[in-house]
Amino acid sequence: MPGGDRDNAKTTIMRKPRGWGVLSLCLLTVIVLALPGVLKSSFAIDILIRILLFAFIGVAWNLMGGYAKQLSLGHAAYFGLGAYTSTLMQVDFGISPWIGMFAGGVVAMLASLPIGWLCFRLRGPYFTIATIATAQVLMLIFLKFRDFAWGAEGTTIPNLGNAPLMMQFEAKAAYYYIALALLAIGLAITYRIERSRMGYYLVAIGENEDAAEAVGVNAPRIKRDIYMLSAFLTALAGTFYTQYIYFIDPATAFNFNISIEAALVSIVGGIGTLWGPVIGTVLLETTSALLQSWLGSSSGGIQLTVYSLILMAMILWRPTGIMGFLFEIYGRHIRAEPARA
Interface residues with another protein (CB under 8 A) are 3, 69, 71, 73, 118-119, 121-126, 128-130, 133-134, 136-137, 140-141, 144, 260, 263, 267, 271, 299-305, 307-309, 311-312, 315-316, 319
Q: Which CB sits closer to another protein, 81 or 101? A: 81
Q: Which CB sits closer to another protein, 141 or 329? A: 141
Whole-Å CA distances, 325 to 9, 242, 315, 332: 10, 35, 12, 11
Q: Which CB sits closer to another protein, 56 or 142? A: 142
Task: Label residue 197 exposed, middle or buried (CB < 10 Å: 0-12, 13-18, 19+).
Answer: exposed
In the chain, DSSP assigns E strands to 155-156, 247-248
Q: Which CB sits closer to another protein, 20 or 317? A: 317
Least gap, CB of 294 to another protein (angstroms) = 14
HEC readout, 249-294: CHHHHCCHHHHHHHHHHHHHHCCCCCCHHHHHHHHHHHHHHHHHHH
Q: Which CB sits closer to another protein, 222 or 263? A: 263
Label the pairing between strands 155-156 and 247-248.
antiparallel
Least gap, CB of 99 to another protein (angstroms) = 32
CB atoms within 10 A of CB 165: 9
- Phi, psi at residue 272, to the nearest 5°? 75, 25
Least gap, CB of 248 to another protein (angstroms) = 21
| Coil vs helix vs strand at 248 | strand
Least gap, CB of 226 to another protein (angstroms) = 17
Least gap, CB of 81 to another protein (angstroms) = 17
Distance from C-alpha of 144 to C-alpha of 150, rounded to nearest angstrom: 9
Q: Which residues of 233-248 are buried (b: 16+ CB within 10 A; e: fewer)?
A: bbbbbbbbbbbbeeeb
Q: Which CB sits closer to another protein, 219 or 334? A: 219
Least gap, CB of 302 to another protein (angstroms) = 6
Q: Which CB sits closer to another protein, 244 or 327? A: 327
Q: Which CB sits closer to another protein, 111 or 183? A: 111
Q: Got the DSSP string for 221-240?
A: HHHHHHHHHHHHHHHHHHHH
Distance from C-alpha of 250 to C-alpha of 83, rounded to nearest angstrom: 10
Whether the Cβ atoms of residue 81 and residue 237 lie closer than 8 Å to each other = no
Least gap, CB of 331 to another protein (angstroms) = 21
Distance from C-alpha of 84 to C-alpha of 90, rounded to nearest angstrom: 10
Least gap, CB of 233 to another protein (angstroms) = 21
